[in-house]
Amino acid sequence: MSEPISIDIWSDIACPWCYIGKRNLEAGLASTAGDPDAPQVEITFHSFELSPDTPVDFDGDELDFLAGHKGMAREQVEQMLSHVTKVAAGAGLQYRFDLLQHTNTVKAHELLHFAKAKGLQHEMEERLMSAYFTEGKHVGRVDDLVALAVEVGLDADETRSALESAEYLDAVRADQAQARAYGINGVPFFVIDGQYGVSGAQPPEAFENVIRDIWAQKQGVAAEA
């Protein structure tokens, strides 16, 4: 039996294309699940901060942030957000940029590493992205993060202790250092089986094809062994 395909994903929970990319990957994997010899995968999320200088409590909406941070005209920002909202809808996601609370995401990344240690990283990743993009919840403050962590089954006191002590900050920084070593400048970025890099929110079919190709190669090697 071949070893599962590793899929390492560098993303930021405040990245709209990362959530779309996550959904597209899931759709691609769902398409392979019915194969006679369905590919086995192991997915790990890694930290990437798009805007590490963002304050926890940003005074303004997403239009204000992007217009100021990227030096874009508000009309241009509105067009960009309209486009990504339509793409997200195609992936089954209902983005609400009118509700979104822009914030610093380092604590959210620490929470993801804590959740990983407890075997709940995937559930925490989904909960954070949904809270941020579709529900307008704050994901930068400890109290808010603890509440979301409890929803996926994490202990409130343990979560609060991990976040307040910055227990997993080194793990966040290690992910970021690895991203720099790989030359990753934007997210989402998928490293598949340690050898193939896939950049951006590719369509489900792209993930489906590369996963099938790699699995076939691994099966061939296993058969020769």
Pairwise CA distance, residues 215 & 90, whole Å: 28
- pLDDT, tens digit, 9 for 90 and up, residues 180-197: 999 999 999 999 999 899
Q: Cα separations (Å) of 113 from 42, 122, 163, 170?
A: 16, 11, 10, 10
Pairwise CA distance, residues 206 & 25, whole Å: 9
pLDDT exceeds 80 at position 221: no
Mean pLDDT of 82-94: 98
Per-residue pLDDT band at 219 (split at 50, 70, 90):
confident
Per-residue pLDDT band at 88 (split at 50, 70, 90):
very high
- pLDDT, tens digit, 9 for 90 and up, residues 130-183: 999 999 999 999 999 999 999 999 999 999 999 999 999 999 999 999 999 999
Structure token digits, residue 113: 């590493």
Structure token digits, residue 4: 């599962």
Residue 223: its pLDDT value, please? Answer: 59
Residue 76: its pLDDT value, please? Answer: 93
Sign of the torsion formed by the C-alpha atoms of 109, 114, 115 and 116:
positive
Structure-token match 């790699």, residue found? 214
Portion of the chain with pLDDT greater than 70, in percent: 97
Q: Cα separations (Å) of 183 from 41, 46, 134?
A: 24, 14, 31
Residue 2: its pLDDT value, please? Answer: 81
Is-contact 12 175, C-beta < 8 A?
no
The pTM for the full model equals: 0.95
Provide the CB-side half-sphere exposure for 56 (13 A, CA).
10
Q: State the CB neighbour count (10 A cutoff) for residue 196.
A: 13
CA proximity to 19, closest of 147, 200, 208: 200
Q: Which residue has the higher pLDDT, 68 or 101?
A: 101
Q: Is residue 188 reached through a cis peptide bond, with omega within 30 degrees of 0 on the bond before it? A: yes
Residue 44: its pLDDT value, please? Answer: 98
Per-residue pLDDT band at 1 (split at 50, 70, 90):
low
In whole numbers, what is the pLDDT of the chain averaged over residues?
A: 95
Pairwise CA distance, residues 48 & 187, whole Å: 8
DSSP string, 2-37: PPPEEEEEEE-TT-HHHHHHHHHHHHHHHHHTTSTT
CA proximity to 108, closest of 78, 145, 73: 145
Mean pLDDT of 31-41: 95
Portion of the chain with pLDDT greater than 90, in percent: 88
| Residue 114's CATH number | 3.40.30.10
- Number of domains the chain is built from: 1
Structural domain containing residue 155: 5-224
Residue 67: its pLDDT value, please? Answer: 87
